Structure 1
Amino acid sequence: MSHKDVDIVRELARKYREIAADERNEERRQRMSDTNDLKTGLRPAVLIDEVPWHEFASYPEMALVCEDPFLRGMEEYFRRKLFQWEHFQVDMVAEPFYPVGKSFSSTGLGIEIQENIVKTDEKNNIVSHQYLDVLATEEDLEKIKPPVVTLNEEQTGKNLQLVQEVLGEVLPAKVVGTTIYCAYWDQIPRFRGVETVLYDMMDRPEFIHAIVRKFADWHMRYLEQLEQWNLLEAHPSLLHCTPAYTSELPGKDYEGKTRLKDVWFRGMAQMLNTVSPQMFVEFELDYMRPLMERCGLVYYGCCEPLDSRIPYLIQIPNMRKLGVSPWSDVERCAEQLGSRFVAARKPNPALVAISTDEDEVARETEKTILACRKNNCPYELVLKDISTVSGKLDNLVRWSKAVQKTLDKYY
C-alpha cells in the first residue's frame, strides 16, 4: 500500500466521520426502531438504495484513484456514502464505524447455473437472462449437496488489522456478521427457467415439491451453520434495503453469541405472483414457515404484489414487516396489515428512470400516506431496484425533495 492511497482513504474517512457525528443519525435510528416496534403515527423513514452507481462515475468526487484493490474498496465505500449524503440523503443513516465483514465460505449447492445473457449496458449489472434446465430429473436433483460453512477467523483478523492500520484514530472499525436472505424461488428458476417450472407445477407437482423440499432443507442446514459459527449480525442497520433497527432484537437473554432467534429473517417468492394464493401456500409458505419460525422477526416480500397473500403471511407468529411493491394495491395492503405489521412500501423506480415528475411522485407518496394513516399502519418508503436514472443525478434529487415536501404536509 502506498502512502498516497492511505492518505486518500484517511481523508475520506475524516469527512465521513463528520456526517456520522450528525445528530440526525440518532433521531433516524430511533424513528426506524420505533416503526419496527409497531409504534404508529410516526413520520416514515425514506431511504434510497440499489443505486446505479456506474452512472455517476463521471462526477469528480466519485472518481476512484487508489491503486491498491483493498484500499480501492474502502475508497469506494466512503465516496458513495459521502455522495449520497450530499445529494439524495433523505433519511440515510451514517454509522460511526467502518464495517469489516466476518470471513467465511460455503460449499454451495453443488450445481451451476447455465444461461444466456443479453446486455444493453456493459457497465450495468441489470441484464436479461435465459436460463437452461439443469434440474430436469430426479438424478439431477441428487447433485444438490448439503452445505458446509467454514469460518475463516484468521482472514477476518487480517482484514480488521489492515483497516485499523489504514484508518488509525480517524474512524473505528467494527467486525460485522451477515444477515439472512432466503429466497429459493429466486434460485430455482435460475437452474430451470421460469416457464419450465410453472408448467411443472401443473404437470409434475410432486417433482416440484421434491425440488422445493431439497432447497428448504439446504437453507435450514445453512442457517444452522451460520448460527453455529456465530456469523449472524445481531445489530444490522439494514436488511436488504429496509431498516432493521428494533428494540426487540437481539433477545433479552443475548450474551454475545448471535442465535437465529436474535435476528431478522428475510424471504420472498417473486415468481410465484403468477400462481394462486393456494399454490403459493403449497409451494412456498409450507416450506418457508419452519425457517421463519427459527428466527426472531420476519420481513417478507420484494417486488411481488402480496395483496392476496397477506391473509396467509400474517398467520406466521413472528411476522413483522411485509413488502408493498409498486404493483400492490397500497390501500388494500394497509387495510389488511393495520397496526400489527409494518408496511415496507416500495415507490415505483420508473418515476426516476428517465425524468422525474414531482407531481406524480407527490401523488404516489400521498396515496401511501393516506392509506397507512387511515388504517393506523406503521410504514416506511424505500426507493430501490433503480436500474437506471439515465445518468441524471437530478432525478434522485427531485424525487427526494418531492417525497419530503409531501410528508411535511402531514408530519
Structure 2
Amino acid sequence: MAAMLTEKERNRLRSLAGRQAEYAALPVMAERAGLWREHNDLSGGRPMINTETSSFERELLPPLVCESPKAREFELALLRNVLNHEHIGDDRVVSPVFDVAPVTDFEYFGIKIESVHSKSSSGDDTGRRYIHKIGDLGEDLPQLKPSTWYYDAQKTQEKVELAKEVFGDLLQVRRGPINPKFVLTRSVVYLMGMEQMCYNMMDYPEEFDELLCRMTDDYLAYCKFLETNGYLTLNNNSCYVWPTTHGYTDRLPAAGFEGRVRTEDLWLGMDSQETIVVSPEMYGELFFPYYQKMARHFGRLAYGCCEPVDRVWEWVSQLHGLSKLSISPWCDVRVMGERLAGSGIIFHRKVSPNYVGVGCVFDEDGFTRHIRETLEAARGCRLEFALRDIYTLCGEPWRIRRAVEIIRNEIEGLWGR
C-alpha cells in the first residue's frame, strides 16, 4: 500500500514522524502528561496552558511537500503534532502516538452545511457566510428528512495500515477518536441563521422544541451507532477534547468497562454560544433540557466557548459530569471565581484573543494585566488557560510564544501566594 506514495513523500513523512518521536521521548513530555492527568483529576498544582493553533497555523507551518491527498493529510497531521512544541512552548504534549482520523460524518436531516468564503488579498480565508436551508419552521419542519450518518470502517483501516507501513516503526499508529462535540444551537444557526432562529422560537415554539428534540435524539443515535459497532475509542489520553484541552484522566473509562468503549467512557464537549440572544430563563426552559439529556450519556463534560456562562450558571451547574467550564472574556471572572472555588469544576479560562491577534503592536502590559486579573479571580480554583480564536499573529509569529511566556511568568509570580 505504501507504493501509493512517492519516495519523496515517504521520506518526508518518515522525517516528520522521526521528529515527533524525538520530541515525545523528551522527559518533559512524560512530566506534562502527568501534570495534565493530575490537573484534570483535581490533584494537580499549577495552572495548565494550551493553545489552539488551527486559526493561525498558516503563519507558522511550512508549505506542504507531499502531493497526493493521503500523504498531504498525514504530513499536515504530523506537522500539527509538533507545532506547539516548536513554536509556542505551552503545555501541549507531544505523544509517541499517531492518531489516524476516522472516515465518518453526520448531517442533521441529511442537509449538507454549505458556506461562501471570503479571502484576503494574500489569499487567506478570512470569513464565511453560511447558506441556510431552513426558513419558516411552520412550513419546513414537516419536510425535513431523517438525519444521516456513516462510518467507513474499510477506508479508515486502509489509512491506518498505510500509516503503519510508512512510519509505524517510528510512532505507534492507532485509529483515532471521534471526540464527540454537541453544539446544538450552533447547528441550528448553521441550518437557519441567527435571526430566523429567533423568529422561529417566537412564531413556532412547539415546532422549535420539536426541532431541538429531533436534533438531540439524532446526534445521540449517531453516537450509539458508533458505540454498538465498536467504532468509539477512548479519549482519556493525549487526545484533543473540545474546547482546547487534553483528555488525560484516570476517571475514565467509567465503571463496568470491559474493553468495548461506551459513550459513558468518554469526554463530551458542548457549548451554546448562540443562546446569548435569549434570557437565562428561556435557556433553562427551552435549551438546557436537551444539553442535559446528551450530557447524561457521557462520562465527563467540558462546557462552553465564548458565551458568558455566569448568566446561566443556575442551569449549567446542573449538567451531568461537568468537569471544565469555559470562562470567556465576556464572563464576570470574579463572580465565576467565587462560584467555582472548591467546586471540583475547572476554571477553563479562555484568554482574550485581542491582545495577540488584533493591532499593529502586541500590548504586553495590557495582556499581563488581563492574566493577573484571571489569577486573582481564580484563587481557590483549578485553573487552565486556553489561547484560541486568534485569527492572525499580525505577521509577528513570536507573539504567541511571548504570550505563553507572560502567562508562565505571572503564574510563577502570583499563583499560590
State the TM-score, normalizing by the size of structure 1.
0.91
SS of 1:362's equivalent in the other structure is: helix
Whole-Å separation in 1 of the counterparts to 2:133 and 2:9: 46
Counterpart of 2:324 in structure 1 is 321
Shift of 1:249: 0.7
Q: Give the counterpart letter for 1:34 in structure 2.
A: E
Contact 1:289 1:316 in 2 (8 A): yes
Tell me which residue corresponds to 1:338.
341
Q: Do structure 1's residue 206 and structure 2's residue 206 form an aligned pair?
A: yes
Q: Provide the rounded CA distance (Å) in 2 between the counterparts of 1:91 and 1:263.
A: 22
More off after superposition, 133-142 vs 336-345: 133-142
Aligned partner letter, 1:259: R
Partner Cα distance (2:246, 2:302) in 1? 10
Separation of aligned partners in 2, 1:288 and 1:245: 23
Using the alignment, how far apart are the partners of 1:227 and 1:105 within structure 2? 15
Give the deviation of 1:278 after TM superposition.
0.6
Per the alignment, residue 275 of structure 2 pairs with 272
Written as runs of structure 1 = structure 2, the 5 A alignment for 1:1-400 is 1-39=5-43, 42-49=45-52, 50-56=54-60, 62-106=62-106, 108-113=108-113, 118-120=118-120, 123-129=123-129, 131-132=131-132, 134-235=134-235, 236=237, 237-240=239-242, 241-340=244-343, 341-353=345-357, 354=359, 355-373=361-379, 376-400=380-404
State the 1:56 CA deviation: 3.3
Say if 1:158 and 1:117 are closer, same or farther in 2 by CA, change over 3 A.
closer
Structure 2: distance between partners of 1:281 and 1:18: 49
In structure 2, relative to structure 1, the CA distance for the partners of 1:291 and 1:242 (3 Å cut) is: same
1:157-203: CA deviation from partner (whole Å, max 9, x where unpaired): 21111111111422221112211101120011122221121233334
Q: What is the SS of the residue equivalent to 1:142?
A: helix
Identity of aligned residues (%): 27
Distance 1:215 1:400 in 2: 39
Range that drifts further, 231-240 or 384-393: 231-240
Distance, in Å, in 1 between the alignment partners of 2:114 and 2:252 is: 39
Q: Which moved more, 1:110-119 or 1:227-236?
A: 110-119
Supply the AA of the counterpart residue of 1:3.
E
* C-alpha RMSD of matched pairs (Å): 2.1
Q: 1:233, CA displacement in angstroms?
A: 2.8
Alpha-carbon distance in structure 2 between the residues aligned to 1:121 and 1:222:
41
How many residues are aligned here? 404
How far, CA to CA, are the matches of 2:14 and 2:184 in structure 1?
41
Which letter does structure 2 place at the counterpart of 1:367?
E
CA contact (8 A) 1:28 1:45 kept: no
Asked if structure 2 preserves the Cα contact closer than 8 Å seen for 1:101 and 1:156, the reply is yes
Counterpart contact for 1:54–1:123, Cα < 8 Å: no
User: What SS does the corresponding residue of 1:47 show, helix, strand or coil?
Assistant: strand
Q: One-letter code of the match for 2:273?
A: Q
- 1 CA distance for matches of 2:364 and 2:162? 45
Specify whether residues 121 and 263 from structure 1 end up closer, same or farther in structure 2 by C-alpha distance, changes over 3 A only: farther
Which residue type is aligned with residue 17 of structure 2? A
- Distance in structure 2 (CA, Å) of the matches to 1:253 and 1:187: 33
TM-score normalized by the length of structure 2: 0.90
Q: Which moved more, 1:8-17 or 1:231-240?
A: 231-240
Write the distance in 2 (CA, Å) between the matches of 1:97 and 1:114. Answer: 33
Q: Show CA shifts across 1:262-305 (max 9, x none).
A: 01121111111121111111221112211111111111111111
Distance in 2 of aligned mates of 1:323 and 1:126: 25
The change in CA–CA distance for 1:154 and 1:113 in structure 2 (over 3 A counts) is closer
Q: How far apart are the structure 1 equivalents of 2:246 and 2:273? A: 21
Tell me how far apart the structure 2 counterparts of residues 211 and 183 of structure 1 sit (CA, whole Å).
14
Shift of residue 102 of structure 1?
Answer: 3.0
Comparing 121-130 with 241-250, greater Cα deviation is found at 121-130
- Contact residue 241 and residue 247 of structure 2 kept, 8 A: yes
Alignment-mate amino acid for residue 313 of structure 2: I
Alpha-carbon contact 1:100-1:175 (below 8 Å) kept? yes
Letter in 1 for 2:127: V
User: Which runs of 5 or more residues in structure 1 are unaligned?
Assistant: none
